[in-house]
Amino acid sequence: MSRASRLITLIEILRRHRFPVSAAALAAETGVSVRTLYRDIDTLRGQGADIAGEAGLGYVLRPGFTLPPLMFGEDEIEAVALGLRWVTARGDGDLARAAEQALAKIEAVLPAPLAERLQQQNLLVGPARQEAERIDTASLRAAIRAEIKLDIAYRDGEGVVSRRIIWPFALGFFETTRILIAWCELRGAIRHFRTDRIDNLLRLDQRYPKRRALLLAEWRRQQLERRPVRPQSLNAPDRN
């Protein structure tokens, strides 16, 4: 492993840990001596990494340090570019502009060979028909970030409109539509709302009482419970 690759690996290891990690453990995981590990820590600190700790106590990476984009490999560059171009094509106005700006920032700091690779656009995002929306999904994203309740007018599949007070906590992007995932006070449960069926919305400026992360965890648990169980073998006994 080259020294540059080793430093990247060391940063990624530190990112995985919220509490100090001993020099011995870091050295073992990166395959170097403890003395070399100390030098690597000093090098990363010199490059701007805010690594707290010292020999004998362990080390922890404080938030805020990012690896230079020049450390990206070709596959990573293509993955980032493809993802950002997808958002540019599928996201709402604010999100699309943010993706374009992020791509421009990455391109500006890349070394020439990788910047050229980024500009080639070998991986393309195909066209998709988006259902017309009556609302700006940027307002949904803002409510999700702020954990704010929304009052929406929602049309079901039969065209019947109902008022809902919801706690939005996630937004799913699909090829032809977007799905808002929220707790619905009317139903007393998590529900999925197609954004093209939301006729209007009102931001209530009331924080909902449950944290977004907990709601998302509950939704994920429900999705796992609904997945069909695959039989272990064709001859498995019937347990029904």
Same domain, 186 and 106: no
Q: At residue 127, what is the residue type?
A: P
Same domain, 45 and 81: no
Same domain, 205 and 158: yes
Burial of 51 (0-12, 13-18, 19+ CB in 10 A): middle
Residue 111, domain extent: 69-120
Share of the chain above pLDDT 70, in %: 89
Q: What is the sign of the dihedral through the CA atoms of 184, 187, 188 and 189?
A: negative
What mean pLDDT comes out for the span 108-133?
Answer: 76
Domain count for the chain, please give it. Answer: 3
Same domain, 54 and 106: no
What mean pLDDT comes out for the span 50-76?
Answer: 73
Same domain, 101 and 164: no
Same domain, 47 and 77: no
Share of the chain above pLDDT 90, in %: 41
- Residue 118 is predicted with a pLDDT of 77
| Banded model confidence at residue 232, pLDDT cuts 50, 70, 90 | very low
More confident residue, 191 or 19: 191
Same domain, 167 and 141: yes
CATH number of domain containing 25: 1.10.10.10
Q: What is the sign of the dihedral through the CA atoms of 43, 19, 26 and 75?
A: negative
- Residue 240 is predicted with a pLDDT of 36
Residue 232 lies in a domain: no
Q: Which segment, 64-68, 87-91, 117-121, 225-229, is predicted with the most confidence on average?
A: 87-91
Same domain, 92 and 164: no
Q: What is the sign of the dihedral through the CA atoms of 157, 162, 163 and 165?
A: negative
Closest CA to 121 of 67, 84, 169, 166: 84
**Mean pLDDT in the chain?**
84
Residue 126 lies in a domain: no
For residue range 178-191, list pLDDT tens digits in order: 999 999 999 999 99
User: Which residues touch 74 (CB under 8 Å, ≥6 apart)?
Assistant: 114, 117
- Residue 2 is predicted with a pLDDT of 67
Same domain, 149 and 222: yes
CATH number of domain containing 160: 2.30.30
Closest CA to 96 of 82, 108, 85: 85
The Cα–Cα gap between 111 and 4 comes to 15
| Whether 92 contacts 137, CB under 8 Å | yes
Residue 109 lies in a domain: yes
What mean pLDDT comes out for the span 50-61?
Answer: 84
